[in-house]
């Protein structure tokens, strides 16, 4: 199922490239953007260039991110390259600003889907994920920052109007990616319960996160309670809430976004 989702995401990205960005010389983010740039100034096909440029990064991803993510990435890279090769380059609109906006947004949707279900779409995504795992910076922001060099190159090769359109497209792509792919968002959960030991045992077996427990009591009832504090990622909250309510339906759970985590926090 995940493989089909990855292929669908690749088709969406290729559609954004060939129908909105490439016809106007607007570049995309990452290795795909570099492939588009070289494809515009040479006779080489964008899809083939995208495949060739991704090979060394796939090797790096295998050693740094693991076998599963690398296999998913290979599926993405190959399918994206095939779609870029097969889909015609067609202008959907004669308005370059509309093409920039819709190309950036649609491309971000495709990449966001791939990241959410596969781990990486190849190229600079691999480097961004590696950096994100050791920092508090979102993948979308990292990709936007790293792609500044593509904007500069496009400005010198073509013109600065296209460079600014490229910057707008890359920015929109990054924002959409961060909207869809939220694994980097960390949340702090405070769980106030009378079933602390049962919940703690279940969480330790089910969720790979540290738990800090303090004793407390109800301000009105004076009833003794346990307060469990955890820092988790957004996708883990549903599982944790289910575990808590299985043991204590009256448990009080307070969830708020964490700006930064300093210390040992697993990001795998």
Could you report the per-residue pLDDT of 183-206, keeping only the tens digit for each? 667 889 999 999 988 999 988 888
Final residue belonging to a domain, choices 180, 199, 227: 180
CATH code of 234's domain: 3.30.70.120
- The CA distance from 29 to 253, in Å, is 40
Burial of 264 (0-12, 13-18, 19+ CB in 10 A): exposed
164 and 214 both lie in a single domain: no
- Domain assignment of residue 219, given as a range: 186-257
pTM of the model: 0.66
Q: pLDDT tens across 11-61, in order?
A: 999 999 899 988 887 876 677 777 777 877 777 777 788 778 878 877 877
**Res. 132 pLDDT band, cuts 50 70 90:** low
Do the beta carbons of residue 167 and residue 158 sit within 8 Å? no
40 and 169 both lie in a single domain: yes
Q: In the chain, which ranges are E strands?
A: 186-193, 212-217, 224-233, 252-257
**Res. 118 pLDDT band, cuts 50 70 90:** low
Does residue 264 form part of some domain?
no
């Amino acid at each position: 199922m995940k493989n089909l989702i990855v292929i669908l995401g690749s088709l969406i990205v290729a559609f954004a490239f060939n129908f909105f960005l490439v016809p106007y010389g607007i570049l995309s983010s990452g290795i795909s953007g570099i492939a588009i740039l070289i494809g515009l100034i040479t006779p080489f096909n964008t899809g083939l260039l995208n495949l060739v440029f991704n090979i060394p990064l796939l090797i790096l991803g295998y050693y740094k991110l693991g076998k599963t993510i690398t296999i998913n990435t290979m599926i993405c890279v190959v399918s994206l390259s095939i779609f870029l090769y097969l889909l015609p380059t067609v202008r959907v609109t004669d308005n370059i600003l509309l093409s920039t906006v819709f190309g950036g947004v649609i491309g971000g949707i495709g990449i966001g889907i791939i990241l959410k279900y596969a781990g990486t779409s190849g190229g600079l995504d691999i480097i961004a994920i590696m950096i994100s795992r050791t920092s508090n910076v979102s993948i979308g922001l990292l990709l936007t920052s790293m792609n500044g060099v593509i904007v500069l190159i496009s400005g010198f090769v073509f013109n600065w109007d296209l460079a600014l359109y490229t910057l707008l497209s890359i920015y929109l792509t990054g924002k959409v990616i961060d909207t869809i792919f939220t694994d980097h968002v960390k949340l702090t959960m405070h769980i106030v319960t009378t079933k602390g030991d049962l919940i703690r045992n279940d969480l330790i077996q089910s969720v790979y996160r540290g738990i800090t427990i303090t004793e407390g009591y109800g301000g009105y009832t004076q009833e003794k309670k346990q307060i469990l504090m955890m820092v988790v990622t957004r996708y883990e909250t549903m599982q944790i809430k289910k575990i808590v309510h299985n043991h204590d339906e009256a448990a009080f759970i307070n969830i708020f976004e964490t700006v930064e985590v300093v210390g040992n926090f697993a990001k795998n």
